[in-house]
Amino acid sequence: MTLRFSLVLACVWALAGVPAGQAQADGNSLLPAPRTFAERDRLAALSPDPETAPPYYTVRAGEPMRKEPGGALLATLPLRSTLRSLSEPDPDGWRRVLHGETEGWVRDEALSNLWIRIDKSERMVYVYRGAELWKTMPADVSATPEGDKIRRAARTESEEHKIPEGTFYVTRRHPESDYYLAFVLSYPTPVHALRGLDEGLISQREYESILAAHREFREPPQGTRLGGLIEIHGNGSGRQRAWTRGCIALRNVHMDDLWEVVQVGTPVIIEP
């Protein structure tokens, strides 16, 4: 794994609350799912080191964590809770996990380790499962992709149609987009908000609203002078053209692939 990629991956799991040095665990080290109580007890003694077990995050708010599959409730997990996987899913779809210092069981369908990296200069989208590259996709970008987004641009200001840079998460899945399908991203981030506050583009109240939304993995305010509705959407050419108003456009067939796996909360990194 290259140093550059290690830093990117560390950034993703830092957003999810995972220490950087623990983000490179090998998913193949997971134990098989137990099929009997005796086997479960045996495997418990052979569990992966909790410090290096592969990290996952919850994709549903209010997800129950149970003492055993279908058993007593241990905790109710908010969206984007960070967990470590201690086994593969059992035949009934339960995965043994570690949340903080508590071991329990969560429905596998409520977990993901998927994240997206977008390289603006390469005009490429890279989709990962943990540390493993899953798919690559050519992307159309904005008319002026260089540089970070600072403010909302008027329709006639093509030179200001910037794609923001930084670490984001998916706030909304839009199945009826004018651009086929779309994932709305969590722009503006706290970094953009602080810059906007310093430059007089937003008020202190707007700044605090943006920070509060990010703390809870909600959609930040979209109507400030910083702009909003930054999306990964369809109707892309697949030829890496420059035409959008600050979004990333993929071919519809690639959006179909992502639609099956990308959830609200999925981390997205956009690089220069």
Decide: 135 and 129 in contact? Cβ < 8 Å.
no
Tell me the per-residue pLDDT of 240-265, one tens digit each, with 9 for 90 and over: 999 998 999 999 999 999 999 999 99
pTM: 0.80
What's residue 145's pLDDT?
82
Tokens representing 51 are: 């410090």
Tell me the per-residue pLDDT of 178-205, one tens digit each, with 9 for 90 and over: 999 999 999 999 999 999 999 999 999 9
What percent of the chain is modeled with pLDDT above 90?
69
Tell me the per-residue pLDDT of 75-115, one tens digit each, with 9 for 90 and over: 999 999 999 999 999 999 999 999 999 999 999 999 999 99
pLDDT of residue 43 exceeding 80, the answer is no
User: 8 pLDDT band (50/70/90 cuts)?
Assistant: low
pLDDT of residue 118 exceeding 90, the answer is yes
What's residue 12's pLDDT?
57
* Residue 192: C-alpha distances to residues 145, 195, 207, 237 (Å): 17, 5, 9, 29
What's residue 147's pLDDT?
87
Q: How far apart are the first and last CA of the chain?
A: 21
Domains of the chain: 3-112 (2.30.30.40), 114-271 (2.40.440.10)
